[in-house]
């Protein structure tokens, strides 16, 4: 079973965000072992970066607006490739202030979901939904239309 880590800075303050992430993580238990690691916000990006680096495992995909954009199908193919290779996968979502360059330079993939800017709390929901969608695509499920 694929191990997926989601490392993020800050806590989900709104219950509806936390409920949505919880729902997608519950759905994902059929396909992967998902762990969400919330790190506290620090005074500087460098301090946050150092804490993030300690949490990185396996293939690292860092969410960054300047990253590569993938369709849902290409994202699913990447997840299937990593699963088939027996890799552990870590996604990183920075704080509302962004990410230190040390985290971006450690990434195997800088991943962008859009040229638009999203709240980092909402981005966690979007990421979990896209991971779930990827497994549904790979499994031939009806979810992705």
- Is residue 61 a contact partner of residue 107, using CB atoms and an 8 Å limit? yes
pLDDT of 145 reads 61
Taking only the tens of pLDDT, the chain with its 145 residues reads 899 999 999 999 999 999 999 999 999 999 999 999 999 999 999 999 999 999 999 999 999 999 999 999 999 999 999 999 999 999 999 998 999 999 999 999 999 999 998 898 999 999 999 999 999 999 987 776 6
- Is residue 59 a contact partner of residue 82, using CB atoms and an 8 Å limit? yes
pTM across the whole model: 0.95
Element (H, E) at 78: helix 72-84
Closest CA to 4 of 28, 20, 39, 38: 28
Residues 133 and 44: their CA atoms lie apart, in Å, by: 34
């Amino acid at each position: 079973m694929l191990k997926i880590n989601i490392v993020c800075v800050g806590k989900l303050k709104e219950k509806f965000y936390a409920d949505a992430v919880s729902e997608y993580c519950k759905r994902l238990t059929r396909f992967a072992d998902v762990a969400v690691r919330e790190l506290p916000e620090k005074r500087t990006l460098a301090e946050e970066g150092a804490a993030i680096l300690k949490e990185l495992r396996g293939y690292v995909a860092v969410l960054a607006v300047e990253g590569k954009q993938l369709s849902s199908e290409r994202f699913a193919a990447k997840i299937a490739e990593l699963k088939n290779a027996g890799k552990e996968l870590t996604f990183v979502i920075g704080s509302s202030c962004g990410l230190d360059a040390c985290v971006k330079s450690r990434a195997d993939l800088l991943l962008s979901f859009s040229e638009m800017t999203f709240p980092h709390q909402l981005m966690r929901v979007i990421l979990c939904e896209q991971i779930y969608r990827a497994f549904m695509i790979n499994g031939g499920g009806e979810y992705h239309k």
